[in-house]
Structure 1
C-alpha cells in the first residue's frame, strides 16, 4: 500500500524540517550572544532542565509503546504528542543555553573519556537522523496508515529512545565540569 493523500501533503514539510532543523541548530550553536557583545545572562540553569526533559521523553516513549501494545491507541497518541512537545522544548532550551554560555569541555580522564565521546557523538548523529524518522512515523500514525506506521516505528522507537537516554547520560557525565 502506498502513501495516503494526507501523508503526501506532509512530505515537503518532513523534508524541509529534516534539513532546516539541523542547519538552524548548527548555525545557532555557533552564535554566542555574549561574545557578540549582547548583555545577556548565561542560562546555566537550563542543562539540568533539558536533561530532565530528555529523561521524561524516554519514560513517555516507553509508556507509549506499552499503551499501544495493550491496544490503547488514544493514550499512545497523546503520549507521542507529549514526546514531540518534550523534544521541541529540549531543542529550544538547548539552543538558548548554547547561545548564552560558553561550551563546557569534558574533564574526565581514563576510560571514561572515550566512553563519553562515543556516547556524545552517537547521540548527536542520531539526534539529526531521528528527525525525519519521527516526522514520518508521526504522520503515518495521524494519517491512519497503521501498518506502515508500525513498520517504521520499529526503527524510530529504539533510535528516539537512545537519543533521549543518552542525552541524560551526556548531561550526567559533563555536569561536574560546568562552571557556575
Structure 2
C-alpha cells in the first residue's frame, strides 16, 4: 500500500502544477493576438467548429466510458478515458491557437437569450478550470489502482466534465452566427 501512496504523491505534485499552470497559460495566451503583435500569421478562423466538434466527441466518449465501466468492460473504459483526455488537450491547443490568431467574436443576441448565453458561457469557463484537477486526480487514482477512491472522485468529475463538454458545443452553436 505504501507504493500506491508514493505513486499518488509523485503525481500529486504534477496535479497541483498543471491545475495552476494550464488556466494561467490559457488566460495569458487568450489575451495575446500574434497578428496584433506584428507576426505574419493567418487567422485560424476554421478552428471553432472543429474544436466544438471535439467537445461533442468528448461528451460521447465520456458517456461511452461510463457505459463501459458499468458493464465491467474495464479495458475499454480505460482506453476511452485516455482518448477523452487527449480530446480535451487537443481542444485546448486549438482553442488557444484560434484566440492567438483571431479576434474574439462578440455575442450578438439580445434579450433573454443574451442572459442564457452568458450564464452558460460563465459556468462553462469556471467549471472548465475546476475540472482540471478533478480529471487529473481521478486519473491518478486509477493509475495507482486505488479504485475505491477513483470511483468516489469520478462521481464528481464525470458530471462536471460532461457539462463542460456539452456546454462547449452549446456556446459554439449560440455564437456561431456572429463569426465574421
TM-score tier after normalising by the smaller chain length? over 0.9
Partner of 1:45: 46
CA shift digits 1:94-139 (9 cap, x unpaired): 0000000000000011111000000000000000000000000000
Unmatched runs of 5 consecutive residues or more in structure 2: none
SS for the counterpart of 2:16 is helix
Find the residue that maps to 1:103 and give its secondary structure: coil
CA distances 1:20-64 after superposition (whole Å, capped 9, x unpaired): 000001000000001101111100000000000000000000000
Mapping of 1:148-163 within 5 angstroms? 148-163=149-164
The reply on whether 1:136 has 2:137 as its aligned counterpart is yes
- Verify the 8 A CA contact 1:4 1:145 in the aligned structure 2: no
CA distance in 2, matches of 1:75, 1:9: 26
Structure 2 CA distance for aligned equivalents of residues 165 and 148 of structure 1: 26
Partner of 2:28: 27
Runs of 4+ displaced beyond 6 Å: none
Partners of 2:71 and 2:143 in 1: CA distance: 19
> RMSD over aligned Cα, in angstroms?
1.1
Map of 2:7 onto structure 1: 6
What is the TM-score of this pair, normalised by structure 1? 0.98
Is contact 1:55–1:168 with CA below 8 Å preserved after alignment? yes
Q: Give me the TM-score of the superposition, normalised by structure 2.
A: 0.98
User: 1:151 deviation in Å?
Assistant: 0.1
Deviation at 1:163, TM superposition (A): 0.1
Q: Return 5+ residue gaps in structure 1 as ranges.
A: none
Q: Does 1:65 align with 2:63?
A: no
